[in-house]
Amino acid sequence: MKQYDVIIIGSGIAGMNAALRFAEQNKKVLLITKRTLQQSNTRKAQGGIAGVIAEEDSVEQHVRDTLVAGCNHNKKSAVQFMVQHSTAAIQRLIDLGVPFTKEHNTIALTQEAAHSVRRIAFVDDYTGAAISQTLTRHVRQQKNITILEHAFAADLLVEKGHCFGVQIIHKNKYKNIMSGLVVLAAGGPGQLYLHTTNPPIATSDGLAMAIRAGATCKDLEFIQFHPTALHLPGKPCFLISESVRGEGGYLVHASGKRFMKNYHTDGELAPRDIVTRAIFEEQKKGPVFIDIRHKKRTYLQKRFPTIYTKLKSYGIDMASNLIPVSPAAHYSCGGVVADLQGRTNITNLLAIGEVAYTGVHGANRLASNSLLEALVFSETVTKNSCKPTKKSEQFSIEKTEKIPPEQRKKLLQIRRELRTTMWHDVGIVRTAMTLKHAQQSIKTLEQKITPLPTNNILGSEIKNMLIAAHTILTAAQKRKNSLGCHYVE
């Protein structure tokens, strides 16, 4: 069994780009991913990637918008660093071959909430999928990268504050793999919530692993809810990109009456936390919709092909029907504390992407800054030097155990109840009482099966979800006043 210079956990934009950059330095990289390379949150990103490209834009303006959206809770130096590197980051994607949508031969830019200018580069409404496909192509060609798909990262191997590898579950066996550096790029905790735009893999494994290893975390109470996910009973949650509002979509009641101006002068393009709470409030009066019927069908088909087709498959014609929407958990603004080079408080453990807290998002992330953050810090993380670990190779082949059907049923029920609790009690609007209620419920769930069977992937995921939920809840209880995504009534 080989030793690696670097193990990267996660195959979103952060993980794949870091793998490519380390490989270019001739490092031996192991890229592990829970399912296939392209199953990630990145793949689901529709809107785009923000950056200073337009002539009328500037670093100062992008920084200012990020700080305003983040309620000035951001780490300003990190925001400046990210935005200063935004143009180069987008150029990196162009160089790799991401087919950004163009207008008059230059990169077209779209508008999203709380941006004072058009500054979001996009590939129609499937930007993340296009990025993911492009990176996958490069990663598969790079000889210095070993790809391990369907490999579940079970734990970080840490001793006396030093990380020296990862324990994985692969083909029903546990294996310990050693490396000089471990990069955590494992995404977010979206699946902790009953309604989420995130894929099923987003079960907060990276966050929980880091917490178990003693990593410092910050700002976990700031869970961002996307205002507009498709809301059709019985149908899976599906993102209706903010760029639909950016390109002129209104939020309305069934009667066609708009309401956003009652909440913010920027109306539909107010910061995301404000739009989310406005919809949450207005839903008490009746269902809420996006109305973009005033745009031509040919335009909608061309600009939003994914959304148009998906809605059509559900019998909704966005050129002539209202689109029913509701908020859904979308992104974690906090995470494992990491500096500008991804370094955490654990030696040789680096964190990038959604799992990391760099301080750029503050209390509420500015739209399309997430792909940017992930990309910028996946470049700087490769500045870390890696010495081979002194740990001798250990290779355990302990087998995982099959879950008996009764136990499986129980585990799935715990997961369902946890997601329901988080949605209702640690959701868009929180009160001291709902948080207390969540505390009780999580405790009860933790005691439903003791000990939790973690010698299989489902059990491990649920353990991770319980750890992450507990930590998010504790953070929410500590912050008594409302700020950004953390709203306490």
- Comparing every residue's Cβ against ligand SIN, the nearest one is 47
Residue 162 pairs with which residues in a beta bridge?
159, 347
CA quadruple 355, 477, 193, 111: dihedral positive or negative? negative
47 binding ligand SIN? (CB under 6 A): yes
Active-site pick, 21, 245, 272, 415:
272
Q: How would DSSP label each residue in 343-372?
A: B-SSBTEEE-GGGEE-SSSTTSPPTTHHHH
**To the nearest whole angstrom, how small is the minimum distance from the Cβ of residue 335 to ligand SIN?**
16
Nearer to ligand SIN, 82 or 462 (CB): 82
- Torsion sign, CA atoms 467, 468, 470, 474: positive
Q: How far is the CB of 211 from ligand SIN (least distance, A)?
A: 25
Q: What backbone torsions phi and psi does residue 360 show, to the nearest 5 degrees?
A: -75, -25
- Asked if residue 46 binds ligand SIN (CB under 6 A), the reply is yes
Residue numbers 243-282 binding ligand SIN by CB under 6 A = 243
3-state secondary structure of 180: strand
Binding of ligand SIN by 325 (CB under 6 A): no
Q: Using alpha carbons, select from 485, 66, 68 the residue that is nearest to residue 277.
A: 485
CB of 49 to ligand SIN, least distance (A): 9
Piece of the chain touching ligand SIN by CB under 6 A; list 235-243, 290-298, 381-389, 412-420: 235-243
CB of 375 to ligand SIN, least distance (A): 13
Encoding tokens for residue 306? Answer: 């994914």
Query: Which amino acid appears at position 363 of this protein?
Result: A
Q: Is 272 a catalytic residue?
A: yes
- Among the candidate windows 173-181, 349-357, 363-371, 404-412, which touches ligand SIN by CB under 6 A? 363-371
Round the CA-based radius of gyration of the chain to a whole number and report it: 22
Q: Which stretch binds ligand SIN (CB under 6 A): 139-147, 238-246, 293-301, 468-476?
A: 238-246
Q: What is the DSSP letter of 428?
A: S
Q: Rounded to an integer, what distance in angstroms lies between the CA atom of residue 18 and that of residue 163?
A: 18
Regarding 368 and contact with ligand SIN (CB under 6 A), the answer is: yes
Closest CA to 241 of 443, 49, 407, 66: 49
The least CB distance from residue 239 to ligand SIN, in Å, is 6
Cis peptide before 451 (omega within 30 of 0): yes
The answer to whether the CB of 261 falls within 8 A of the CB of 294 is no
Q: Which stretch binds ligand SIN (CB under 6 A): 16-24, 182-190, 366-374, 394-402?
A: 366-374
Q: Judged by CB under 6 A, does residue 86 bind ligand SIN? A: no
In a 13 Å sphere around the CA of 482, the CA atoms on its Cβ side amount to 13
- Is residue 242 at the binding interface for ligand SIN, with CB under 6 A as the rule? yes
Contact region with ligand SIN (CB under 6 A), list: 198-206, 239-247, 311-319, 455-463: 239-247
- List Cα–Cα distances, 71 to 126, 337, 373, 427, in angstroms: 29, 19, 18, 19
Number of residues engaging ligand SIN in binding (CB under 6 A): 9
367: contact with ligand SIN by CB under 6 A:
yes
Q: Does 370 participate in binding ligand SIN (rule CB under 6 A)? A: yes
Per DSSP, the chain holds a count of helices (H) and strands (E) of 15, 19
Minimal distance, residue 167 CB to ligand SIN, in Å: 32
Which amino acids are annotated catalytic? 272
| Residues at the contact surface with ligand SIN, assessed by CB under 6 A | 46-47, 241-243, 330, 367-368, 370
